[in-house]
Structure 1
Amino acid sequence: MTVYTILVDFACASILILIGMLLRAKFKFIQRSFIPASLLAGFLGLALGPNFLNILPFSEDIGSYAGIITIFVFAAVGINGFSFSPGNMKKDINRMGAYATYKILCIGLQMSIPIIFSILVISKFAPEINNGFGLLLAAGFYGGHGTAAAVGTTFENLGWETATDLGMTAATGGILAGIFGGLIFIKWATRKGYTHYVKNFSEISEDLKTGLVQPQNRTAMGNDTVSPIALDPLAFHLALLIVPSGLGYLLNNYIATTWGLEFPTFTIAFLLALLIYILLGKGEKGVYKYVDSKIVDRLGSAATDFLVFYGVASIKLPIVVEYALPLGLLMLSGVAVVVVMLIVIGPAMNYESWFERSIFVYGYSTGVFAIGLTLLRVIDPNNKSKTLTDTAVVGPLNTPLELFAWSAGPVMLLSGQHWTFVGIFLAISIGCFVIARIFKWWYWKIPLGGRPPVPLDRNEDVI
């Protein structure tokens, strides 16, 4: 493998991604499905690549790119730090408290129910699967291709060679369930009158359908925080992400060779990036004011598109066929969990704008944040439900649970501590129900059609 091999691999990937974007922009049936261009490209890469027709000159190393890109994506999350404001937390405490409890409950159920189902039911049909099989559902559905690659790599380091391919398949199935299922539920909710900001599915903007933003609707991708005379702003932000990514890999190798401990590289990179975020310092005296979080988001999102492509294009079809029955059963259990969270627990734990908030959680519980954002923008294009605002405030509460699951989960599940792992997340789930009842964040008996929207702030105009 040479640098030119990498160049050809990414050139082929880029060609297919551009073709995917062209297909999205031109064909109505693709627009109606809202399939991302990178996912379309991934299917083309799978069909034309070495695992099927073998037409394109991909190298045999394309399966390794997803794991490397994952490190970069998690570094982007760390560099942006945590957005937590106690002042906002005190305002509208009931709405945000109920929403935070709902989001944490989603994690608890996705980390426990599929694993229980896998151990007690799927293993009867496929005795060869191990106790970690159920975690691939949560990694693929809740975490997306990036987390599936990271968790799959961790499982591979522990001796489970097919984990990454199965995780990528679960992630692909999750995105499809998120997009197609989300659109079905949006149409159902608009017919029932449960939506507040878009009453007709046909009102969706052309920008969302085609993926091409018209000039009058465009927004800035970021600001120049350093002078291009000294250093290009994009190079500056790119360096901020590559540093913890590379150092995370080196530090993890050092830890492994010195103490014999195995940690996911993406976790080390995330922690190093978070340390850089802290050292840069926020406020007037800090250096962090020269970091534009929007540029960091764009770099991380761009990497995610290539991650989705390589995650799908490198799937080994014989492995998927071999595990077709257990994998199909596992994904059905995952779909059942997220559907119950949307139409049963969603309205029970969200009072104002219950559907807008629940469909967003459904979206990122079946793929990535971008899927949730896409579904939300379909029915709440101006964030009047304050779903994104509340997510920014309560989002850090999820991070420790996710890091624990992705880092410690594979080790616990393969070392005989599977019921301990499941018990932790079941206890978290039960705790969420108890908290919701204690603080009266339980709206089970209130009719769905009579729920109000989130009230506008005084300085907020009705659009």
Structure 2
Amino acid sequence: MTANVIGFALLVMGIFLLVGKLIRVSVPLFQSLFLPSSILGGFAALILGPQVLGNLMAPLLGDDSFWATGLFTDSITEVWAALPGLMINVIFASLFIGKKTPSLKMIWEYGGPQLSFGWMVGWGQYVVGLLIALLILTPFFDIPPMAGALIEIGFEGGHGTAAGMQSTFEELGFPEAYDLAVGLATIGILSGVIIGIVLINIAARKKQTALDMDEEAFTVLQKLGIREFENREAAGKMTVRSESIEPLSFHVAMISIAIMIGYGIQQGLVGLEAITWGPWTDTYVMTYVPLFPLAMIGGILLQMFLDRFDRFNLVDRQMVMRVQGLSLDVLILTAIATISLAVIGEYFIPFLLLAVAGIGWNVVAFQMFAKKMIPTYWFERGIGDFGQSMGITATGLLLMRIVDPNVETPALEAFGYKQLIYEPFLGGGLVTALSVPVIYATGPIPFLIFASVMTLIGWAVGIFYFGKQKAES
């Protein structure tokens, strides 16, 4: 693999990001669904690649034909397949860099209700998934019980988490889980937007929203994904002078430091396990833990250092988010473009069962418990957690934007506070990363019991603590 091949693969990837944007601008349905261009570009690359176009043309023109691999060579596909696992480290390392950390009291007061609801939903996905694995997938399809974790990995974690877990799946002897997780992540985003908009329309008709719904909340340009001239803001602040170091380069360097801190933690945990509980119990878990949740911890530690010593405020959050956004676009496009359709086809029934069960649990949990657990503005706040539980955080933000376009409720602020405690554990955090190795090492029953207890804790805190506040008010 030469540098020229890698560079050319990146150029082609960039073109398909633009292709995805053009598709969205051209198709009103995709605008109404607010689908990211990276998803559309990923599907376009998948169709024009070896798995669709290549498989159609190879029988006609021969395996040696240029068209046997679609528009892309095997080298391009190989480069793309490696990118999701790399980009996820950048995304998670960037989560908290540039954010001022609020007090725990403020986080609990504002984000506590949504934290309890999200905690219940996230752990509940493990409960539902493991029950399906134990009762159906393992006995009837001979699928490892660790497949029960795929709902949380694909839905709460999204494409990024699925990509970050790829090496773990391979090391544990279930490489097909990666393609299933990416497929679930794609289903989660699509269904999250569609079902979320349906729930919003039903709530608006039943007057369940605190605010009157504005049918023109999104302008034509917003649906096209284009900012109006009067609303265009700077992508980031120039906190350092370019003759010293380019601001973008400086922020990439900060993210690199966070990832290296995470790598140091990872290697330290592996070494510690090798000389302590590993040989004592003959159970090794840390070897299978991916880097991305530890890179997130590296970002938190770096930000704590910056909070104390960076008196010039050199790190700009908006600039960090641009790097994070680029990484997410690259990750989603390449993950979808290289997903194995053969694996999805082979495991279609298990895949369908997991998808339906995950969607069903999220919808039922929202409809039954959100109103009882969130004391004020329950719909505006709960719909954000529902969106996140179905896919990426951006889905939750999108749904909150529809019901609260002018940020008149505490939904957005509370959602942000919730993330500070929630994301280090679920939705791609330490629990997500450890779930598959722990299930593999200890069996599914202990983890199922633990997940059930955590689900009940989230439910109880929401119902009897935050719900009681609502009753008293």
What TM-score results when the alignment is normalised by the length of structure 2? 0.86
Match of 1:156 in 2: 170
Q: Higher helix fraction: Structure 1 or Structure 2?
A: 2
User: By how many angstroms is 1:167 displaced?
Assistant: 1.0
Q: 1:337 to 1:171 in 2, by over 3 A?
A: same
Determine which of 156, 161, 166 is the counterpart of 2:180.
166
Match of 2:347 in 1: 323
User: By how many angstroms is 1:216 displaced?
Assistant: 0.8
Match of 1:105 in 2: 120
Match of 1:420 in 2: 446
Letter in 1 for 2:179: D
User: By how many angstroms is 1:360 displaced?
Assistant: 0.8
Match of 1:116 in 2: 131
Q: Indicate the SS of the match to 1:360.
A: helix
When structure 1 is superposed on structure 2, of 198-207 and 360-369 the one drifting more is 198-207
Letter in 2 for 1:111: Y
Distance 1:278 1:445 in 2: 38
Aligned residue runs from structure 1 range 2-401, under 5 A: 2-53=2-53, 54-57=69-72, 58-80=76-98, 83-86=101-104, 88-89=106-107, 93=109, 96-126=111-141, 128-245=142-259, 248=262, 252=266, 259=274, 261-262=286-287, 263-280=289-306, 282=307, 285-287=309-311, 289-401=313-425
Letter in 2 for 1:266: F
Say how many residue pairs are matched.
441
Q: 1:433 to 1:82 in 2, by over 3 A?
A: farther
User: By how many angstroms is 1:215 displaced?
Assistant: 0.6
1:271-311 deviations in whole A, cap 9, x for unaligned? Answer: 3333322333x15x535721111211221122111111011
Letter in 2 for 1:69: M
User: By how many angstroms is 1:357 displaced?
Assistant: 1.2
User: For the Cα contact (< 8 Å) 1:171–1:367, is it kept in 2?
Assistant: yes
Q: 1:89 to 1:371 in 2, by over 3 A?
A: closer
Match of 2:56 in 1: none
Match of 1:429 in 2: 455
Q: Indicate the SS of the match to 1:79.
A: coil
Distance 1:188 1:216 in 2: 33
Q: Indicate the SS of the match to 2:35.
A: coil
1:375-421 deviations in whole A, cap 9, x for unaligned? Answer: 11122112222112112223222134323322321111112332222
Match of 1:455 in 2: none
User: For the Cα contact (< 8 Å) 2:88–2:160, is it kept in 1?
Assistant: yes
Distance 2:153 2:168 in 1: 12
User: For the Cα contact (< 8 Å) 1:190–1:200, is it kept in 2?
Assistant: no
User: For the Cα contact (< 8 Å) 1:190–1:201, is it kept in 2?
Assistant: no
User: For the Cα contact (< 8 Å) 1:12–1:56, is it kept in 2?
Assistant: no
Q: Return 5+ residue gaps in structure 2 as ranges.
A: 54-68, 275-283
When structure 1 is superposed on structure 2, of 49-58 and 436-445 the one drifting more is 436-445
Name the % identity: 27
Q: Indicate the SS of the match to 1:439.
A: helix
User: For the Cα contact (< 8 Å) 2:159–2:332, is it kept in 1?
Assistant: yes
Letter in 2 for 1:221: A
Q: Indicate the SS of the match to 1:212.
A: coil
Match of 2:63 in 1: none
Q: Indicate the SS of the match to 2:173.
A: coil
User: By how many angstroms is 1:351 displaced?
Assistant: 3.4
Q: 1:400 to 1:250 in 2, by over 3 A?
A: closer
Letter in 1 for 2:173: G
Match of 2:57 in 1: none
User: By how many angstroms is 1:60 displaced?
Assistant: 2.6
User: For the Cα contact (< 8 Å) 1:338–1:366, is it kept in 2?
Assistant: yes
Match of 2:279 in 1: none
1:94-122 deviations in whole A, cap 9, x for unaligned? Answer: x6432221122122212222222222233
User: For the Cα contact (< 8 Å) 2:155–2:184, is it kept in 1?
Assistant: yes
Alpha-carbon RMSD across the aligned residues, in angstroms, is 2.6
Distance 2:271 2:456 in 1: 40
User: By how many angstroms is 1:202 displaced?
Assistant: 4.5
Structure 1 segments, 4+ long, off by >6 Å, are: 443-446
Letter in 1 for 2:295: A
User: For the Cα contact (< 8 Å) 2:129–2:354, is it kept in 1?
Assistant: yes
Q: 1:365 to 1:11 in 2, by over 3 A?
A: same
Q: 1:16 to 1:182 in 2, by over 3 A?
A: same
Match of 1:458 in 2: none
User: By how many angstroms is 1:81 displaced?
Assistant: 5.9
Letter in 1 for 2:29: F
User: For the Cα contact (< 8 Å) 1:225–1:291, is it kept in 2?
Assistant: yes
1:177-214 deviations in whole A, cap 9, x for unaligned? Answer: 11111122222222222223352445433343111011
When structure 1 is superposed on structure 2, of 70-79 and 437-446 the one drifting more is 437-446
Q: Indicate the SS of the match to 2:95.
A: helix
Letter in 2 for 1:157: E
